[in-house]
Structure 1
Amino acid sequence: MTRTTNARIAGFTFLAYIAATIASMVVFSRATSGESIAAKMASILEHTTSMHVVILLTLAASFAALVLAVTLYAITRDQDHELALIAMVCRLTEGVIVALSASTIVALLWIATGNRFDASAVSAMHTLGEYLLRDDTAVCAFFFAVGSALFAYLLLRGRLIPIALAWLGVGASLILVVGLPAQLANLISPAVASLMWLPMLAFEIPLGLWLLIKGVGASQPRTPSVTNDV
């Protein structure tokens, strides 16, 4: 495919990825509402259709991450092949982890909808439910952030998109690269963890629209290395 075609596909996929991710988070949050684990499992039982929708949205987001990995690599590889390859692997890893999370949702449905636990096993059911409902999205998001930072840098280096937008992408990605490990280490509050995604949202929506409508500019040639004959 041509660079223009890859740019158009990447632009559409960016928007689809954002829509699928936000929709799955909203639906999942509503389907698992409740203060206690027992209440959350009961809510899942009442919202089995919503949970199946979340599975489909999760798979869509996973596939979108894989498409973005390949198309962004194709667009940026002329700037630095190795960095573009690392960025692609990070986004591929993200896509795989997102796909695996769909099996977690299937497991939650299996627990909530089955009559597999007698009174003596209720505690075990709650423990398993609590484990499956844990919030470890920062692990997957870290690979996303590293891949995003590298791709944004390469887009900036090649002047493939507006410079201001590229710098926003670099900055937004670096915030997450630093903030997500801090979130995993419990060094920042949930409120701060949520706010640090706003710059990324402000970057990816305009980027998706730009790639879809405008494509990418002509790639700037790399500065050739200078070698001295001995």
Structure 2
Amino acid sequence: MKIVPAEETTCKRGQQYCILLYSEKKENYLQNIGYLGEQLDLYLVSKNIGTLWFGIGKTDESSWKELDFVIMIAVSKIDDENKFRKDMFKSKRKALDEIWMGESIIGVSNFVRFAPSACNTQPWIVEHEKSTLKVYRYKKRGKRGIMPTDKVTYYNQIDMGIFLCFLDLCLEHNGIDFECTHFVDNGSDKEKTIVASYGMQEKRDLHYLLLNGRRKEKR
């Protein structure tokens, strides 16, 4: 990553600096950028630094240290945290039953919905069956917001990395042990592309929240 003054990019969102993210091009590199960048995003916000993933931003340095430019994050110090820390449940997000199939998990299912995504496309679906979660990149036909058609899959692969970061953090925060298997996302145009499978370790204190509000202990 490289930090540059705002004027060295095409981003005009009132930011002070932009963090440019570069990568070698290899399997799942876009997903990897999303996963790493979101950890930085969350950390900066915890320090009262406003952040914005800016997908269409450009820089004159399309390559750096033999790595290719992928995306940028605009940042600015906030003098009053109330300016950007609002009630997240007022954010426009898909309903839980649109992105999560099967039993909900307390402290996880209803929070991963708030992962940021390009044009708020929220291109993910989770299928929960027994102690397994399967995560898919979902591309609904005709839904792309203002993104150019040829950029939808590109940015949505970054989005999936952001989502997996949210999912990992929520599982860890709730004390749920898991093993994750990642699959290669080659950017296909299929409606559903599997990106990861989670095997969760059952614990005596692990509870799942059913959609009707009942609780069931997994023993």
For normalisation by structure 1, the TM-score amounts to 0.29
- Structure with larger RCO (C-alpha < 8 A, sep 6+): 1
For normalisation by structure 2, the TM-score amounts to 0.30
Query: Who wins on radius of gyration, i.e. which is larger?
Result: 1
